[in-house]
Amino acid sequence: MIPIIIVLFLFTPLAAIADGEGIVVFQEGDGIDAELEQRASSAVDIALHQQGVENRVSIVQNGAVDSAAILMQSGTGNRIRVEQQSVQASLMRMSQGGEHNTLIAAATGTSIELELIQDGSDNHTQVVAVGHDISFQANQSGNGNELIADQLGSGVHASVSQFGNGNLIEVVQNADGAGITVYQTANGVRTTITQN
Amino acid sequence: MTFKKTQLIVSIIATMTCSGSYAGNVIDSNQTGTNVTGTFSQMTTTDNSIVVSQDGSDMTATITQSNGSGSSASLIQTGNGNSSITDQQGTGQTVTLTQNGSNDQISTESVGDGHSINAAQEGANNVMDLDQLGGSDNAIDVTIQGGSDNAIYVYQQNGTSASSITISQIDTSNVIGINQDGSTNVSLNIDQQGSSNGADMVQTASDSSMVLTQGGDVNIAGLTQSGGVSGSAMTADQSGDTNMMALTQDGGQGNTMTATQGGQANNMELTQTSAVDSSMLAEQSADVAGSYITGTQLAGDANAMMLYQVNGTAQSMIAASQSEGTAALIDVRQTNCASCTVTATQTH
């Protein structure tokens, strides 16, 4: 699992838009904000790379089909919030490196994949997914990390991995055909999985 | 009382007219004094010349060359409150106008093909009004306008093609207004050095170019290519602080705009409307604290927008917007940034 995490984290989001369509953002510095919004019926992508501390990203993708939001932050005290609204066959891939970072992913629609990576300690990931055939994969490496997720709909699936001490996992799945796989290796971890 | 002093007191009116269907004629006039008027005409002429020198104040020179080709007119006015009026028609006529002083005025008009206007002013509160109407292969060249509170207005209109305008202006509080209305392949090159200057440039011709350079602080520039032009380019550069530029391209295909600013508290607004396969590139570099870039592409396909703030940015902002188009790209970059913001909106 660890080699997979490293490969994903080294992925450069700015190379994701190879066909010259979408939004590409690179920001380097402290206390910076990015607010991105896409409203489209066709395939559109967002790629963002932020470096620094206390940075913020807010993204909304609405109505897109076969689209992707690919984001990477490195630094401390950063925050990413992504909403994919009414999307189909879309991808959300986010990675954060550093401490005290927050990652919030919200998705509604059909056939959505979420890939969430945090490398560092005292980080927080929150997932809210509503729809059909939505799956998320979350990987956290470090101590004192938290993952909180709510899935509502049908055919939902989650795969969560944590490496470190004092980590927390809380997942609620209100769905038909729900599934979850949890992998934790460390001391003092807490896990609560609820399927209704 | 000397003879020269008498000249300064007494008004002189000199009228010299040479007309007819002749070639190789020459008018050479020297006038000194106050409130002097000179009128010089060559009608239906070829390869003729008019050379006028006026030294004094409140002097007026009127030069007319019509219905010929290859003729030239040259005027030098020295002093304050002087004015010149020039009218050339035909083909391949050249006029060279020089004014040294303040509160002077140049007004010149040429109609036809292959005309050339060369004008220079040095002093304050001067005005130039340069018109070239119709035809092709025309040129306007304002080499140096040194001094403050000067104004240059240039019009190349009515079917102009393969024509050019080049202007250099130095000092403060100067303005330039240009309207280049042609069919194809026209060029415009403006250089303003100093502070509190303004330039407004409008071009309606395909496969054309527009270039602006401003050096100094608190300058403002407006560049517009309109009328559905295609294959045209505009380039603007401002170096200094608290400058502003607005670049607009309306319609067409394969157009480009490039804007650069170096300094603090600068602002640039780039807009492409109903364009196809067009691009905009904006870059603010060096210490660009408190600067803004706004990029807008409205109602066009396959467009690209690149907006960059590079090195030393603080409290700067980039706002990008694309709407009603497909296959469009927004590329935004901020480096070494503190408390900076990017907003990007894409609607298809």
Cβ <8 Å between A36 and B343: yes
Nearest-Cα distance to chain A for B282, in Å, is 14
pLDDT over 90 (residue B192)? yes
Per-residue pLDDT, B18: 42
Nearest-Cα distance to chain B for A119, in Å, is 23
Name the residue facing B348 among A27, A32, A41 (closest C-beta): A41
Per-residue pLDDT, B95: 97
Q: What would the pLDDT profile of B33-85 be if each residue is shown by its tens digit?
A: 999 999 999 987 688 999 999 999 999 999 999 888 999 999 999 999 999 99
pTM comes to: 0.89
Per-residue pLDDT, B289: 86
Sequence length of chain A is 196
Confidence of residue B308 (pLDDT cuts 50, 70, 90): very high
Nearest-Cα distance to chain A for B272, in Å, is 17
Q: What would the pLDDT profile of B133-164 be if each residue is shown by its tens digit?
A: 988 899 999 977 678 999 999 999 877 788 99
To which residue do tokens 């490398």 refer? A119
Residues of A contacting chain B (CB within 8 angstroms):
17, 20-42, 44, 52
Confidence of residue B348 (pLDDT cuts 50, 70, 90): confident
Per-residue pLDDT, A3: 40
Task: Name chain B contacts of A37, Cβ cutoff 8 Å.
Answer: 344-346
Tell me how crowded residue B25 is: count the other CB atoms within 10 A of its CB. 17
For chain B, what percentages of helix, strand and coil (3-state, to nearest 5) are there?
Answer: 0, 65, 30
Cβ <8 Å between A20 and B304: yes
The SS3 of residue B238 is: strand
Per-residue pLDDT, B8: 37
Q: What would the pLDDT profile of A48-72 be if each residue is shown by its tens digit?
A: 999 999 999 999 999 888 989 999 9
Per-residue pLDDT, B221: 98
CA angle B187, B192, B197 (to 5 degrees): 120
Residue B331 contacts A, CB cutoff 8 Å: yes
Long-range CB contacts (within 8 A, 24+) of B198-201: B198/B174, B199/B175, B200/B175, B200/B176, B201/B176
Confidence of residue A116 (pLDDT cuts 50, 70, 90): very high
Confidence of residue B92 (pLDDT cuts 50, 70, 90): very high
Task: Name chain A contacts of B330, Cβ cutoff 8 Å.
Answer: 22-24
Sign for the CA dihedral angle at B216, B108, B65, B79 comes to negative
Sign for the CA dihedral angle at B34, B35, B41, B47 comes to positive
pLDDT over 80 (residue A107)? yes
Cβ <8 Å between B329 and A42: no
% chain B with pLDDT above 70: 93
Per-residue pLDDT, B127: 96
d(CA B183, CA B232): 12
B176 CB-near residues (< 8 Å, 6+ apart): B151, B152, B153, B154, B167, B169, B190, B192, B197, B198, B199, B200, B201
Residue B334 contacts A, CB cutoff 8 Å: yes
Per-residue pLDDT, B148: 93
**What SS3 string covers B114-157?**
CCEEEEEEECCCCEEEEEEECCECCEEEEEEEECCCCEEEEEEE
To which residue do tokens 């809210």 refer? A128
d(CA A26, CA A71): 10
Q: What would the pLDDT profile of B200-234 be if each residue is shown by its tens digit?
A: 999 998 899 999 999 999 999 999 999 888 999 99
CA angle B309, B247, B119 (to 5 degrees): 115
Per-residue pLDDT, B49: 94
Confidence of residue A195 (pLDDT cuts 50, 70, 90): very high
Eight-state DSSP code of residue A165? S
Residues 291-320 of B with CB under 8 A from A: 304, 313, 320
Chain A with chain B: Cβ pairs closer than 8 A: 95
Rg over alpha carbons for chain A, rounded to the nearest Å, is 16
Nearest-Cα distance to chain A for B345, in Å, is 5
pLDDT over 60 (residue B302)? yes
pLDDT over 80 (residue B97)? yes
Alpha carbons within 13 angstroms on the beta-carbon side of residue A181 total 8
